[in-house]
Each structure stands twice: as structure tokens, then as C-alpha cells.
């Protein structure tokens, strides 16, 4: 699948993740909506692995900035984490022993740091400072938020592109009459511009909700008390923990607890989030999962808005309707004549799956570490990101090549004759009289202008203008926010 959408501005490449995936990751064969898209690259197994290692490196750097561990040890840990090569399949198999991949990964990282340091390390044994004060969930949750942040940035960029095309469609077809359908039947006249503007409004709401997310880092230690970091700080003051000499604490770049008016442990949390580019959580959220639930809900809403566009296009592209057509080949394995709305089908299929996956996210767990509920989040969260991201990029492609046939819209609107403006006749003559007029055989004995669908558009053109104004205002605000 290709896309005319340009690279995402402002989204740095994930370390170690190729910008264009060399092959489809597991699941792509059964989910072609995201196969080959940008969201695939930032949500792959490799991308998750790199995010976990980034979290370990950021933790060490934050602890050094807070004065808890030597700077040279933090640099060694971060550098080793960035260059660590791990067989993902082997790591997954070893993860079965601990029910998460962090335990074997930390073991690998400690060994790599020990080998890199050698026996003459000025920091003693820096390997024992790897993962200091953290627990597996801290790293896994922070990595999940990193992956989500990057995927959401890609999704937002593709929604922006889809909205740009929709705004143009709404503007060009502001006054293009067509039949509105309710319960699958022709109802009253509307315009294709208003239909496109309605799609635009749905995507705009979804985009704004995704942009408003503030995904936080996670750091709480074994049970959310930061006890190990607090203890390490106490040992440091007693001269029993390897740290920067106390006299150096006033050097630029060393952010001590006293300067911030809080303990070094709490300062590490803020610095850790800063190192990762995530929001700093006021408290650990390992046992309170509204963060993940809110993310899943926002992705489900975006998928639903994309699904609305795709579903309408499927119905408008039916052979008997023919008011729009995709640019995709849409081939059939059995019928050479068919041109199926393949892109719309992919998007609609994705939109139906995301809410199901999102329903698993944020489930309540037991006490301070869930036994299954937390672990159950990982795959559904990735699928929510992948499916929504694939649907967004595919929708941008779909809309960029959409063919619109105003003549067919007008012809379809005239299929039922006066029926399409029955509401108008009721306004003029009353419902009973309108029913008699419509029952009578032959042409209705009413002024011809009352039967013209283009003359009964209500406020549709003005509504298009209103939605475009809202969109333009939001687009301008986005530009200002990005400066």
C-alpha cells in the first residue's frame, strides 16, 4: 500500500527502527489495513524493544541528574542500552518464566553493561545500577506510552491529511445536490458538500481528542512507593552508595532534590519523564489504569469516525447508486468485472475491531500489581494503535483518489420524482394534501420549482460554511501550537 501523505513532521525516528519496514510484522497478513504503513514501523516488536531499552537508559540518566548515581555509570548504561542487540523471538520465549519481557531484558542489559565496563571501571560495578529502583511494570508501561506517543503522532498527521482533502471536497461540492438517505431510503435533498463536511467534523473531533492526550511516564518501584530510590538516597547521604561527590552537587546540570524542594526519588520521576519526552505523573499509576483506558477510548473514537467515512463510501459506490468510486483496483478473485471499494472495506473492518480491543484496556487489577489485567493490555493496545493508524493512512489515500459524480447524484435524486420533496409539499399544503398530491397519477399539480431538489437544500450550504470555519480555525490553532 502506498500513500501520498508526506513524512510526519515533528516526529523523530524511533532509534533502531527503520523508517520503512522491510517486511510485514506478525499479524500483517490478517490485518492488511496497516501492512506497510508508517504506524507499522513505530509499533513493531522491534520498536517496542527499543522503547523498553530507551526507558532503561532514560532512568539511568535521570538518576545521574538527580545525583543518585555517577554520571559516567549512567552514560555507560544508556549507551549500552541504545546499542544492545536482542533476538526478539528468544526474548519472548524467555519472558514466559516471568510473564513479562522486562526481566530477561534487564538481565541481558546488566550483562552487557558489565562486559562494557570491564574490571577497571571508575564507577565500580555499574551493572548493579541498571534498573535501579524500578520494577518491570515501570519500564513496560513507560515503553508502551513511548510507542503510543509516536503512533498517535503518525495517526494525527494522517487525520490532518484526510481532513485537508475533506475540506476541499466540502468546499467544491458545497451546493452539489444529492439525496440524503435515512434508514437506507431516500429522504430529502442534501449536498455532497455537507456529507463531506460531516465526515470532516467527525475526524476533527477525533483528532483533537488524540492531540489532547498527555501520556505519562511510569515510575513507582516495586509497589508504587519509590522505596528503593528513597533508600538509595539515604545510603548516598551516608556515603554508602556510589554517587557523584557531594561537593559537585552545585555544578550546572546536577539537579538536586533541595533545589526542587522534594526528595531525590520524586525528582527522578520528573527527570525520567523529561528524558523520555512524556508527561510527568503526579503519582505512580501502575494500579490505576485510566491512562490506558482513556488512550483506548480516544483511539476507538478515531476509528469510529474513520469508519463512518468508509461505510458511507461503500454504500455510495454500489453499482445501483454509483455516486462515488474509489481509485483502488478492488479486484475480485472470482469475478473479473468487479471493482470493489477495497480501501473503504479495510477502513471499515479496522473501525469495527478497535472498540473491541479497547474494551480490554484499563481493566481493574488486584491491589498494587494486576495478575493478568495489566498483561492483557499489551497486545490490544498495539492493535488499537495499528488498526487506527492503518485506517487513518488508508482513509487519506482513499479520499485523495475519490471520484465524485455529481451528475449521478442529481439523477438519483430525481428517481422518485416528487417523493424526495414530500416534506416541502407538506410545508406548503399540509401533510394530508401532500399525500393526496403524491398519490394522484400523473404529474403533481404544483409549481415546478417546488419539485426541484436543488431548491430544497435548507441550510445545507451554510452548514458547510460553518464547519469549514471551525476547521480553518482549528488548523490555524494547530499551526500556532506547533511553532
pLDDT in tens, 329-353: 765 555 556 678 889 999 999 999 9
Q: Give the chain's mean pLDDT.
A: 88
What average pLDDT does this structure show over 151-164?
98
Q: What is the pLDDT of residue 133?
A: 95
Among 171, 369, 408, 410, the active-site one is 369
Residue 332 a catalytic site member: yes
With 70 as the cut, is the pLDDT of residue 269 above it? yes
456 confidence band (pLDDT: 50, 70, 90): very high
Which pLDDT score, from 0 to 100, does residue 328 have? Answer: 77
pLDDT band at 162 (very low <50, low <70, confident <90, very high): very high
pTM for the model: 0.89
When comparing pLDDT for 428 and 238, which is higher? 428
With beta carbons less than 8 A apart as the criterion, state whether 44 and 25 touch. Answer: yes
- The pLDDT confidence band at residue 439, using thresholds 50, 70 and 90, is confident
Please give the average per-residue pLDDT across 162-186, as a whole number: 97
Catalytic residue of the set 98, 258, 327, 332: 332
What is the reported pLDDT for 243? 47
Report all structural domains of the chain as residue ranges with CATH numbers, in order of start. Answer: 46-132+225-276 (1.10.275.10), 141-217+288-410+460-482 (1.20.200.10), 416-451 (no CATH)
Q: What percent of the chain has pLDDT over 90?
A: 70
Average pLDDT over residues 196-205: 98
pLDDT at residue 180 is higher than 80: yes
Q: What is the pLDDT of residue 77?
A: 97
pLDDT band at 242 (very low <50, low <70, confident <90, very high): low
pLDDT over 70 at 256, yes or no: no
56 pLDDT above the threshold of 50: yes
pLDDT confidence bin for 310, thresholds 50/70/90: very high
328 is catalytic: no
- According to the model, what pLDDT value does residue 435 have? 85
pLDDT > 60? residue 419: yes
Amino acid at each position: 500500500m502506498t500513500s501520498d501523505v508526506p513524512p510526519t513532521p515533528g516526529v523523530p525516528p524511533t532509534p533502531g527502527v527503520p523508517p520503512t519496514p522491510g517486511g510485514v510484522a506478525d499479524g500483517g497478513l490478517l490485518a492488511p489495513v496497516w501492512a506497510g504503513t508508517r504506524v507499522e514501523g513505530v509499533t513493531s516488536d522491534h520498536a517496542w524493544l527499543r522503547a523498553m531499552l530507551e526507558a532503561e537508559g532514560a532512568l539511568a540518566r535521570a538518576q545521574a541528574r538527580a545525583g543518585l548515581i555517577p554520571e559516567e555509570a549512567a552514560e555507560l548504561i544508556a549507551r549500552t542500552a541504545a546499542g544492545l542487540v536482542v533476538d526478539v523471538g528468544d526474548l519472548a520465549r524467555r519472558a514466559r518464566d516471568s510473564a513479562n519481557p522486562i526481566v530477561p531484558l534487564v538481565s541481558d542489559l546488566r550483562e552487557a553493561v558489565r562486559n562494557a565496563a570491564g574490571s577497571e571501571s571508575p564507577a565500580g560495578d555499574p551493572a548493579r545500577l541498571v534498573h535501579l529502583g524500578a520494577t518491570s511494570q515501570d519500564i513496560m508501561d513507560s515503553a508502551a506510552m513511548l510507542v503510543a506517543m509516536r503512533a498517535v503522532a503518525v495517526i494525527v498527521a494522517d487525520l490532518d491529511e484526510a481532513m485537508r482533502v475533506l475540506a476541499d471536497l466540502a468546499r467544491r461540492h458545497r451546493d452539489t445536490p444529492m439525496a440524503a438517505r435515512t434508514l437506507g431510503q431516500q429522504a430529502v435533498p442534501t449536498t455532497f458538500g455537507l456529507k463531506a463536511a460531516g465526515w470532516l467534523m467527525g475526524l476533527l473531533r477525533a483528532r483533537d481528542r488524540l492531540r489532547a492526550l498527555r501520556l505519562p511516564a511510569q515510575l513507582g518501584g516495586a509497589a508504587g512507593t519509590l522505596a528503593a530510590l528513597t533508600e538509595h538516597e539515604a545510603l548516598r547521604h551516608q556515603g554508602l552508595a556510589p554517587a557523584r561527590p557531594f561537593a559537585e552537587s552545585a555544578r550546572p546540570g546536577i539537579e538536586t532534590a533541595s533545589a526542587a524542594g522534594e526528595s531525590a526519588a520524586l525528582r527522578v520521576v520528573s527527570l525520567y519523564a523529561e528524558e523520555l519526552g512524556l508527561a510527568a505523573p503526579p503519582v505512580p499509576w501502575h494500579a490505576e489504569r485510566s491512562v490506558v483506558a482513556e488512550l483506548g477510548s480516544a483511539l476507538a473514537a478515531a476509528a469510529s469516525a474513520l469508519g463512518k467515512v468508509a461505510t458511507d463510501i461503500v454504500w455510495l459506490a454500489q453499482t445501483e447508486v454509483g455516486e462515488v468510486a474509489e481509485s483502488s483496483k478492488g479486484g475480485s478473485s472470482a469475478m473479473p468485472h468487479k471493482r470493489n471499494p477495497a480501501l473503504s472495506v479495510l477502513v471499515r473492518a479496522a473501525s469495527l475491531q478497535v472498540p473491541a480491543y479497547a474494551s480490554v484496556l484499563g481493566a481493574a487489577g488486584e491491589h498494587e500489581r494486576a495478575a493478568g489485567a495489566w498483561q492483557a493490555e499489551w497486545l490490544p493496545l498495539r492493535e488499537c494503535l495499528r488498526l487506527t493508524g492503518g485506517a487513518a493512512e488508508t482513509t487519506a489515500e482513499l479520499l485523495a483518489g475519490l471520484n465524485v459524480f455529481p451528475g449521478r447524484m442529481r439523477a438519483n435524486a430525481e428517481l422518485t420524482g416528487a417523493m424526495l420533496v414530500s416534506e416541502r409539499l407538506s410545508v406548503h399544503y399540509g401533510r394530508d394534501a401532500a399525500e393526496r398530491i403524491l398519490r394522484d397519477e400523473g404529474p403533481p399539480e404544483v409549481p415546478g420549482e417546488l419539485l426541484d431538489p436543488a431548491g430544497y437544500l435548507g441550510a445545507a450550504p451554510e452548514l458547510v460554511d460553518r464547519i469549514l470555519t471551525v476547521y480553518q480555525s482549528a488548523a490555524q490553532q494547530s499551526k500556532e501550537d506547533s511553532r
